[in-house]
Amino acid sequence: MTTQNVEEKSEICPAQALLKMLSGKWKPEIYRLALSGPLRFNSLLRQINGSNKQSLTTALRELEECGLLERVVVQQKPLHIDYLLTEKGKQLAPVMEQLESLS
């Protein structure tokens, strides 16, 4: 991690960091769906109206990079990939519930 990244990270308040992690067209919806359990790519593609493969892939990768989702290869026939909330992602659930109750 560069010095600039450390400085930028220390300057962001927790609320700003959360908003940055979940900002994007499909990230909040992916997160909401992941609260119910493991997700598969094609299932997400069907559930999120208006999404496409490229934008969904980008959003999933960004959620992985910030530590909210984990990509797990399930070794069974046929081989498939599940997306699961990490512990960090699960810890945000009460915050997201409070935000939803405001609307």
- Residue type, position 50, single letter: G
Rounded to two decimals, what is the model's pTM? 0.80
Residue with tokens 């962001």: 12
ω before 78 within 30° of 0 (cis)?
A: yes
Residue 9 is predicted with a pLDDT of 54
pLDDT at 14: 77
Q: Please list the rounded mean pLDDT of every run of 10 residues in the chain (103 residues).
A: 48 78 89 94 93 94 95 90 95 85 78
φ, ψ dihedrals at 22, nearest 5°: -100, 5
H/E stretch holding 69 reads: strand 69-74
CATH topology of domain 3-102: Arc Repressor Mutant, subunit A (1.10.10)
Boundaries of every domain in the chain: 3-102
